[in-house]
């Protein structure tokens, strides 16, 4: 299992509330219904709490998304689907694509907690 984690910043001109509404109500369902999304085992949206913002111009990250794939081949197949460009176009509707941060990781090594020594979805 591999995971793509992305740190997200909203597009200039969007309020935090408008960003979160679009991400949850438009973009999430688009991924879930797409052929590209069929390669995703799990898609998580981790929104920043609205009461954490210091006004609508707060420059911090707005959330984190995590997409789980069986392996790197599934990740590559996700990006190779004909509808992937449509998803990327939608991303530019609400995210500052110049400020996206991506990292691909494998199973975590859990050091503390209930799952110490085990790997989720293994």
pLDDT tens digits along 61-103: 999 999 999 999 999 999 999 999 999 999 999 999 999 999 9
So what's the pLDDT on residue 120? Answer: 56
122 pLDDT higher than 50: no
- Tracing tokens 């990781």 back to the chain, one arrives at 105
Distance CA 82, CA 68 (A): 20
Token pair listed for 23: 């991400």
User: How much is the pLDDT for 52?
Assistant: 94
> Which tops the pLDDT comparison, 109 or 32?
32
Cα gap 75→122, rounded to integer Å: 17
Cα 119 to chain centroid, rounded: 21
User: What is the pLDDT, as a whole number, of residue 100?
Assistant: 93
- Please check the confidence at residue 119 and state whether its pLDDT lies above 60: no
Strand boundaries in the chain, DSSP class E:
2-8, 42-47, 63-69, 101-105
Question: What does pLDDT average to over the chain?
Answer: 92
What is the arithmetic mean of pLDDT over 47-52? Answer: 95
Instruction: Kindly tell me if the per-residue pLDDT of 1 is higher than 70.
Output: yes
Q: By the 8 A CB rule, do 47 and 32 touch?
A: no
Distance of CA 113 to the CA centre of its chain: 24
CATH fold of 2-50+57-105: Alpha-Beta Plaits (3.30.70)
Residue 109 has what pLDDT?
80
26: left (phi over 0), alpha (psi -120 to 50) or beta: alpha
Among all chains, which residue has been given the structure tokens 């420059």?
Answer: 59
């Amino acid at each position: 299992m591999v995971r793509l984690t992305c740190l997200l910043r909203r597009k200039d001109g969007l309020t935090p509330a408008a960003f979160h509404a679009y991400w949850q109500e438009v973009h999430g369902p688009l991924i879930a219904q797409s052929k590209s999304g069929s390669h995703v085992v799990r898609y998580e949206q981790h929104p920043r709490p609205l009461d954490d913002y210091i006004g609508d111009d707060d420059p911090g990250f707005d959330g984190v998304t995590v997409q789980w794939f069986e392996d790197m081949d599934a990740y590559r197949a996700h990006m190779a689907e004909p509808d992937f460009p449509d998803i990327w176009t939608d991303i530019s509707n609400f995210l500052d694509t110049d400020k996206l941060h991506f990292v691909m990781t494998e199973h975590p090594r859990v050091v503390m907690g209930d799952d110490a020594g085990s790997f989720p979805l293994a």
